[in-house]
Structure 1
Amino acid sequence: MPVEKITSLHNPRIQSIRALIQRREERRERGWFVAEGVRLVEEGVQAGWQAVMALYSADLSARGQALLPALHAQGAEVFEVPASLLKQISDTETPQGILTVFARRVYSLPEPLDFVVIADNLRDPGNLGTLLRSAAAAGAQTVWLTPGTVDAFSPKVLRAGMGAHFRLPVQEVSLEWMRDFRHQHPGMHLYLAEAENGTPCWDTDLTQPLALVIGGEAEGASLEMRALVDGNITIPMPGKSESLNAAVAAGILLFEVVRQRRQAP
């Protein structure tokens, strides 16, 4: 199939993609985001996410080239661009020859709801992406992001997530929504991960319906979120470290949930 070519940085479609890469407000308003690289685009296509537009360069690998018919079949606009132009708009140092605009999915709450992760005030893109990857691997049903948390669909978070976004419902929620949720779901326990002053995770019953709250790297969870939780849980650390990286701590706690539930009678 003949493919249209774009060669100018000032092309309206190129400018639209640049805005999606650079601005959270643009992503939120359009309901679109940009996935860069063969693996991420492959994950999105295989998971059946709706592709809106794709750009590729002539140096795209054979594995990447194999994605183009599927993108065409979805009705996405597909354009060939010079590698130099792709590098200009890319958020990566070494583009892999393809980027794709996907439409975000709208999710309803899973039922029954019993394993939720909440990122509150988490501002580091790498930490959030790693958290999403761990949550998907542990079988969490959904991840909620409260105000003050970095945009889950920013390029850096997407890369760190390694495709988790396409396998896991990720939703932004307001603190008012969280308060309403607590009122409507009294059986759901909210536990805040803390470095100290909490119950050791091994001694906490994580087989019951729960939401695990991971606070920000510097200041921890917000006061509003702290007012909603049922208690704090900690990871016992026999060494001399005062705390763990937020994403590392989340990974340990998520798989403690998995361990307890697999061993439950």
Structure 2
Amino acid sequence: MREIIKSNANKTIKFIKSLQMKKYRDEQDKFIIEGEKLMDEALRYMVPISMVMISQSFAESSKHDEYSVILRERKIPMYYSEDSIFKGVCETHTPKGIIAVVEKPEYDFDNIISKDKLSIILLHELRDPGNVGTIIRTADACGMDAVLISKESTDIYNGKTIRATMGSLFHIPVIQGLDTLETIVKLKKRKTVIIGADPHNGINCTELPHYRKWAVIVGNESRGINNEINDVLDIKASIPMPGSAESLNAGIAASILMYEFSVRNQCL
């Protein structure tokens, strides 16, 4: 018979709740995923899972039976709680019945940028979790080598960001907490062309030449790329807009640029 957690004072409940805060995610090197979609992706890509929390109602589903077989095979602890207790540890308004505590991945930055052919998106001071998650998802779809994120940007392990990635966080290297200028210097040493997204003063992105190694930088949602970063760019690229809008949402602009450069450079 399963033991059902019935109190918010339970240490497992408290631990999972603590991971809603960046401070504790950083201390533990762990984060939370919610729902079947993210759970499926984590299991498919063999992401290290520390534990799983399941609601009492979800435990009656066929999907639970499917998960429990895999989780037992991988020796991943499963905990069960009353639905009301489970709802309290969820960040979504409509809990999906399953939560996993996942270990943060580690990536070798120098190994990534040493590739002979390289495509990178570098996010400088992006604060909106939805934008960052969308960009990670698009980078995955475009076959980018990595997403690099400055230390002033939103935490990629924020629940909103994770949900916006739709599982792409498990498919592509994402490295955060970087100093933008230092990162650019390292990329340039590896002969990477640095392209800055500029809504008004850049070269039409459809007219740029092909590059074997390139990195697109997208700046803050309201301020864009600052002068210090602008001074070290190799090229500025703009998206042609025949309509009346002055600019695009940062997530949309980054997605268009990644797609444009990725498709045009596939022949190299």
Once superposed, what is the RMSD of the aligned Cα atoms? 1.7
Instruction: Please report how far the alpha carbon of residue 3 of structure 1 lies from its aligned counterpart in structure 2 after TM superposition.
Output: 4.3
| 8 Å Cα contact 1:38-1:64 kept in structure 2 | no
Q: 1:207-222 to 2 correspondence within 5 Å?
A: 207-222=211-226
- The aligned residue for residue 149 of structure 2 is 145
1:245 pairs with 2:249:
yes
- The aligned residue for residue 175 of structure 1 is 180
Instruction: Please report how far the alpha carbon of residue 102 of structure 1 lies from its aligned counterpart in structure 2 after TM superposition.
Output: 0.5
Unaligned runs of 5+ in 2: none
Moved more, 33-42 or 250-259: 250-259
Moved beyond 4 Å, runs of 4+: none
Distance in 1 between residues matched to 2:65 and 2:129, nearest whole Å: 29
3-state DSSP of counterpart to 1:66? helix
1:88 pairs with 2:88:
yes
- The C-alpha deviation readout for 1:148-181, integer Å capped at 9, x for no partner, is 1101111000001100101011101223641541
- The aligned residue for residue 184 of structure 1 is 189
- The aligned residue for residue 18 of structure 2 is 19
One-letter amino acid matched to 1:52: S
TM-score if structure 2 supplies the norm length?
Answer: 0.91
- The aligned residue for residue 254 of structure 1 is 258
% identical aligned pairs: 28
1:54 pairs with 2:37:
no
One-letter amino acid matched to 1:252: I
Q: 1:110-121 to 2 correspondence within 5 Å?
A: 110=112, 111-112=114-115, 114-121=118-125
Distance in 1 between residues matched to 2:80 and 2:135, nearest whole Å: 34
- The aligned residue for residue 70 of structure 1 is 70
- The aligned residue for residue 227 of structure 1 is 231
| 8 Å Cα contact 1:32-1:102 kept in structure 2 | yes
Instruction: Please report how far the alpha carbon of residue 58 of structure 1 lies from its aligned counterpart in structure 2 after TM superposition.
Output: 2.5
- Number of matched pairs: 261
Distance in 2 between residues matched to 1:183 and 1:249, nearest whole Å: 23
Distance in 1 between residues matched to 2:137 and 2:51, nearest whole Å: 25
Instruction: Please report how far the alpha carbon of residue 146 of structure 1 lies from its aligned counterpart in structure 2 after TM superposition.
Output: 0.2
Moved more, 41-50 or 7-16: 7-16
- The aligned residue for residue 126 of structure 2 is 122
Instruction: Please report how far the alpha carbon of residue 125 of structure 1 lies from its aligned counterpart in structure 2 after TM superposition.
Output: 0.7
- The aligned residue for residue 6 of structure 1 is 5
TM-score if structure 1 supplies the norm length?
Answer: 0.92
